[in-house]
Structure 1
Amino acid sequence: MASNLLKIHPSDNVIVALRDLPNHAVAEWDGQQYSLPYGVSAKHKFVTEDIDTGGAIIMYGVLVGRAKQPIKKGEPITTFNLAHDSQDYSTANRQPYTYVQPDVTKWQDRTFRGYHREDGRVGTYNYWLVVPLVFCENRNVLIMKDAFERELGYAQTDIYREHVREFLHLYQAGDMRKVKSLEVFTEQPAVKKITDRPFQNVDGVKFLTHEGGCGGTRQDANTLCALFAAYAVNPNVAGITVLSLGCQNSELKTLEDEIKKRDPHFNKPFFAFEHQKGTEYSLMSGAIKETFMGLTKINEFERADAPLSKLSVGLKCGGSDGFSGISANPVLGHLSDIVVGLGGQTLLAEFPELNGVEQELLNRCVTEEKAAKFEKLMRDYAGKAEAVGSAFAFNPSPGNIKDGLITDAIKSAGAARKGGNAYISDVLNYTERATVPGLQLVCTPGNDVEATTGQTAAGANVILFTTGLGTPTGNPICPVAKVATNSALANRMPDVIDFDCGPVVDGTQSIEENAEHLLEYVIKVASGELTKAQQLGQNDFIPWKRGVSL
């Protein structure tokens, strides 16, 4: 990688600035010189030729936009001179695709320490799950959460409560100067590892809340049941407690049917309680007793060696920047190819961020049936967005644009690199479970939490989340590791970032080398090393109501 510039694909007519380039700088790439009339910030791009109005901008080898006005050679692309456009796609236009699997010999005998389930899958963590079937029970779930976490040692260290306490003491002592200057707090305390928990083999009791289950559409209620069923069968969950009001649309029988659909031999501890059958006290006492008994049972599980073929890795990006498609996303792509080569699963989600690369993904599907399913899901999703005056083209956030992702097609072409080059073995609708090895496409929004929620439903037991701007996203039952696209971010937010792909940008590591370092880290996480999101107690959970969410 050149020190200041990068042209990603031979057919591209834009070059990426890896460092800030000043006004009137002369940039050189592959023997060609480009005079830059305006400064080009790092992560942004300038054109390599004069572009007329309506002319195509090509990046990653695909169409990513068209000029809204003439763009002179050396000028940067911006929201003022470039509009989103992307290549059309069709299953009927599929082309032959060949793929050479990377050599995975060095990884074949490697293992992680996980929890073996009776269905043959392996959990990276051993959690008990408590869920409400309707928002009416959120309060009771939170009461259970407080009781279990405090008494069983799962509560997070409340450093911010300590801040308020210290401020109060200073105020009462008449010393507001220290409060104003924050002199009492200079360093963030280290996260303490609790070793005196009574259930040493139970990694946590996870309590979910939501705003659904009744009052919305029946489709939303049924989807919520399907989502909880998918979480119940996830290998990271060993048992589940369900609180139901009794009259809501999301019925207990629907949940039970959805569980059996995903696992006909489901035999994890499963306890359900209906509020309208008695008092709140009887509901809560019964739920607490049975949950406690269940914890004693799942505490019998112990970590044991498992091959890397038992990994199911979610591939996600959020808070993306102009380096995402250059460093972290292709690093995930190479890691994905390794995991697939070992017989594991990788799950690529975020359908709004596959806009413009659909044809390549269609070509990579192992069967025409899988390709047709992907095309239908994409067109249905895009059609719903357009019907309400939105579109995939509106996906990039202000932060994305500021850091170089000018159109959704640019963002998508970079995001798709998380999927590497492997064949696509399956296409999953939201809440469908991954049942075969290989790279799979999972229909979710691009929204960070809705996507990670959906990937976990598909069966992910680890999620790798690339970010260029920084985001604290986590998940209740699936560890989410944050992968920085650049070292400046990794150094600025060390409490959030788990792994740094900056060495790819500065040229000290290749994509392949960085990916192998990342896989070593994944093995540690799968064996119980906590991610930063887990240390922070970042348990994000947002069900997708299948409406328009980009």
Structure 2
Amino acid sequence: MCAKCSGMTPAAPTLRLHPADNVAVLTARAAAGADPLGCGRPLAVAIAAGHKLATQAIPRGAALRKFGQVIGQATADIGLGDHVHSHNCAFSAHDQDYAIGADLAAAQAMVPVCAPRSFDGYRRADGQVGTRNYIALLATVNCSATVIRRAAAEIEAEGSLQGYTNIDGVIALAHGTGCGMAAAGPGFDILDCVLWGYATHPNVGAAVFVGLGCEVMQIARMRAKAGDAGSDRFHALTIQDSGGTRATIDRIKAHLRAILPQVNQARRSPCPVASLRVGLQCGGSDGFSAITANPALGVASDLLVGLGGTAILSETPEIYGAEQLLLRRASSDAVARKLIDQLRWWQDYAAQGGGSMDNNPSPGNKQGGITTILEKSLGAVAKAGATPLMAVYDYAEKVRAPGFVFMDTPGYDPVSATGQIAGGAQIIVFTTGRGSAFGSKPAPTIKLATNDLLFASMTDDMDLNCGDVVSGGVSLSQKGAAILDLIIATASGAPSKSEMLGLGDHEFLPWQIGAVM
């Protein structure tokens, strides 16, 4: 074993992340002829940063280990210093000796004791606290997508929001379903849950449901949910009753003008950070995600939990292979069993489509150095920090338990974030190594770059650089504290980069599941 392989200093050309690992990660691009391990085995070809090199000879069939965990199996004999990637590493079985709750006591000890902190938020009548104050136009069916988008665009272009300084905007939440579906079952229930979750979101000051009139997702359902008590906050109309497309657009605009003064009455005031629910996301992951941004976000998640807040991990296909790390700190057997059931559902779901759980890593992930879903998942769960797993939720289910929780969602970022926001997340924090042009409304997205190059090349999109954890020797605890400060500032109204770019109007994407009839 080479001494340089275990270095964690900024100058080290490779990082060996755990004593049991037989691979190390390149911290910078290594040219052909270079010897980044310092073991007398120069590279035959150049290898990109974030990729893995073997720190010892590994025979065919042997386990490849990173983070001290199995990330795959060698499909050929691998020599000391060889590049380890898709050409010689394949998906394999992983540790499923779950030992539920075995690390719970240790996880409980990891909850930090923090002095209370506050942010400037919007206190709602139902006790929730918002970080933004939007008016939401919600299509109950794809047929009403155009009218709500045009109404939102026209009301802004006409300057109707000028002078209403306490309103962040009008958002049109359009989607591609709402009809051609069963009137009962998972697909219907999910859409119903998402629509109501957005309408009642703490970042929404008023909601207007717009339907065609004859769809499966009937507007009457939303009226019934609102009841008489919701008449000031919830509104509804249909295209068929309003006289067609143009008449509906005009009616929506007139209604918006009428409710603007009321929504503008909301004022920010000091609110406890304990009222924050933060969705944890990663997309366009690379070989640095698990080393910099994800574990730093894990530190911030722990701090948030220590303040009484809630951190929501999701993307069930992207914890596969690392679920044992979560189950060992589950707060109860029931919590653990629900997560196991969700994972088994996903295995069956993938098989029905002729795929497997290892289909998840994208071409971009692999270009960035990630080889298998096991490796990707082990990095993804780092966002969740080290505190107990307190609850497991279904997609878009209302999140009520404080602490670290999990929500079942696909790995596809817009669908996953839509579920988290419907569940009540007022802010999304999104780590990326390859780069992402993602944003969300009504909950703003904060984007964290995993490496210096990305932060420099996509400055307009990235809110914070975590690459200096490797390049500058910044500690994960320092970076985690900086992330928490950024979350609190954003919650208080500071715009995120994605908000300044206007992202979020088209990233509302409810999970469509079930037969299209």
Above 0.5 in TM-score?
A: yes
- Paired position in structure 2 for 1:349: 314
Instruction: State the secondary structure of the residue aligned to 2:328.
Output: helix
Contact 1:34 1:48 (8 Å CA) reproduced: no
Cα distance in 1, alignment partners of residues 290 and 321 from structure 2? 14
Matched residue type, 1:11:
A
Match of 1:498 among 460, 463, 468: 463
Counterpart CA distance in 2 for 1:258 and 1:499 is 40
* Map of 2:194 onto structure 1: 227
Aligned residues of 2:121 and 2:270 also touching (Cα < 8 A):
yes
Task: State how far apart, in whole Å, the 2-side matches of 1:92 and 1:104 are.
Answer: 27
Q: Which amino acid aligns with 1:128?
A: I
Within 5 Å, give how 1:249-398 maps onto structure 2.
249-255=216-222, 269-280=233-244, 283-398=248-363
Deviation, structure 1 residue 398: 0.9
Matches within 5 A, 1:370-449: 370-449=335-414
Partner of 2:21: 12
CA-based RMSD: 2.2
2:30 is the alignment partner of 1:21: yes
- In 2 relative to 1, CA 26–487 (structure 1 residues): closer, same or farther, beyond 3 Å? closer
Change (3 A) 1:542 1:517: same
Q: Deviations over 1:183-239 (max 9, x none)?
A: xxxxxxxxxxxxxx2211111111111111111344433321211111112111111
| Aligned: 1:73 with 2:80 | yes
Q: Which moved more, 1:249-258 or 1:489-498?
A: 249-258
Please give the secondary structure, in 2, of the residue aligned with 1:425: strand
Deviates most, 78-87 or 473-482: 78-87
State the one-letter code of the partner of 1:7: R
1:290, distance to aligned residue in structure 2 (A): 2.8
What is the CA deviation profile of residues 482-521 of structure 1, one whole-angstrom value per residue up to 9, with x for unaligned ones? 1100111111111111111111011331111111112222
* Range 213-222 or range 235-244, more displaced: 213-222
Deviation at 1:295, TM superposition (A): 2.0
Match of 2:3 in 1: none
- Alignment CA distance shift 1:90-1:128 (3 Å): farther
Counterpart for residue 137 of structure 1: 144
- One-letter amino acid matched to 1:139: T
1:117 maps to 124
How many angstroms does 1:286 deviate by? 3.8
CA distance in 1, matches of 2:129, 2:101: 36
Q: CA deviation at 1:36?
A: 4.4
Measured after TM superposition, the shift of residue 90 of structure 1 is 6.2
C-alpha distance in 2 between matches for 1:48 and 1:256: 63
Give deviations 1:380-427, integer Å, cap 9, x for gaps.
012111121112201111111011001111111111100011111111
Q: For 1:441-461, what per-residue CA distance to the aligned partner results, in whole angstroms no more than 9, with x for missing partners?
A: 111111121111111112111
From 421, 443, 447, the equivalent of 1:478 is: 443
**Cα gap change, 1:334/1:92 in structure 2, threshold over 3 Å: closer, same or farther?**
closer
Deviations 1:447-477 (A, max 9, x none): 1211111111121111111111111101120
Distance 1:63 1:88 in 2: 8
Distance 1:267 1:442 in 2: 31
Instruction: State how far apart, in whole Å, the 2-side matches of 1:396 and 1:277 are.
Output: 47
Question: In the alignment, does 2:415 pair up with 1:450?
Answer: yes
Secondary structure of the equivalent of 1:35?
coil
3-state SS in 2 of match to 1:289: helix
Moved more, 350-359 or 82-91: 82-91
CA distance in 2, matches of 1:5, 1:225: 49
Gap change, CA 1:445 and 1:8, over 3 Å in 2:
same
Contact 2:194–2:510 (CA<8 Å) still a contact in 1?
yes
Q: How many percent identity over aligned positions?
A: 34
Closer, same or farther: CA 66–259 of 1 in aligned 2, 3 Å: farther
- Superimposed CA distance per residue, residues 116-138 of structure 1 (whole angstroms, 9 cap, x where no aligned partner): 11222211000110011111111
Q: CA deviation at 1:110?
A: 2.6
Contact 1:316–1:452 (Cα < 8 Å) also in 2: yes
What's the offset of the Cα at 1:341?
Answer: 0.8
User: 1:74 and 1:325 mapped to 2: Cα distance?
Assistant: 21
Matched, 1:517 2:491: no
Q: For the structure 1 residues 86 and 113, does the alpha-carbon distance in structure 2 shift closer, same or farther, using more than 3 Å as the test?
A: farther
Question: What's the offset of the Cα at 1:91?
Answer: 5.8
Do residues 245 (structure 1) and 209 (structure 2) align? no
Matches within 5 A, 1:192-203: 197-203=162-168
- Tell whether 2:54 aligns with 1:47: yes
Q: How far is 1:86 from its partner?
A: 4.0
- In the aligned structure 2, how far is the partner of 1:267 from the partner of 1:58? 58
Q: Measure, in 2, the Cα distance between the counterparts of 1:375 and 1:255.
A: 33
Please state how far the C-alpha of 1:277 moved relative to its aligned partner.
Answer: 2.6
**How many Å apart are 1:266 and its aligned residue?**
5.9
Residue 283 of structure 1: how far off its partner (Å): 3.9
What is the rounded CA distance, in whole Å, between the counterparts of 1:65 and 1:482 in structure 2? 29
**Helix, strand or coil for the counterpart of 1:441?**
strand
Supply the AA of the counterpart residue of 1:372. Answer: R
The residue matched to 2:158 in structure 1 has which SS? Answer: helix
Cα contact 1:64–1:86 (8 A) shared by 2: no
* Contact map agreement 2:26 2:50 (CA 8 A) in 1: yes
What's the CA shift for 1:369? Answer: 0.4
> Aligned equivalents of 2:331 and 2:101: distance in 1?
11
Aligned counterparts of 1:375 and 1:295: Cα–Cα separation in 2:
46
Indicate if the aligned counterparts of 1:90 and 1:375 stay in contact, CA closer than 8 A.
no
Per-residue CA deviations over 1:124-167 (Å, capped at 9, x if unaligned) read: 0001100111111112112211221112366xxxxxxxxxxxxx
The answer on whether the counterparts of 1:86 and 1:409 sit within 8 Å (CA) in structure 2 is: no
Distance in 1 of aligned mates of 2:256 and 2:190: 25
Distance 1:40 1:78 in 2: 11
Greater displacement, 144-153 / 301-310: 144-153
Change over 3 Å in CA distance of 1:309–1:382 after alignment to 2: same
Task: Please tell me whether the aligned partners of residues 199 and 296 of structure 1 are also in contact (alpha carbons under 8 angstroms).
Answer: yes
* Structure 1 residues 223-274: Cα deviation after superposition (integer angstroms, max 9, x where no partner): 21211111112111111001111211112244456678xxx97676111112
Q: Which residue of 2 aligns with 1:128?
A: 135
| Paired positions, count | 498
Structure 2 stretches of 5 or more lacking a match? 1-7
Q: Structure 1 counterpart of 2:156, which letter?
A: E
- Given that 1:91 and 1:371 are in contact with CA atoms closer than 8 Å, whether structure 2 keeps it comes out as no
Could you say if the C-alpha distance between residues 217 and 91 of structure 1 is closer, same or farther in structure 2, counting changes exceeding 3 Å? farther
CA shift for structure 1 position 23: 4.0
Distance in 1, matches of 2:209 and 2:33, equals: 65
Q: Is the 8 A contact 2:122 2:267 kept in 1?
A: yes
- CA offset at residue 322 of structure 1? 0.7
Q: What stretches of structure 1 of length at least 5 have no aligned partner?
A: 155-196
Query: Separation in 1 of the partners of 2:396 and 2:117?
Result: 30
Structure 1 contact 86–355 (Cα < 8 Å) conserved: no
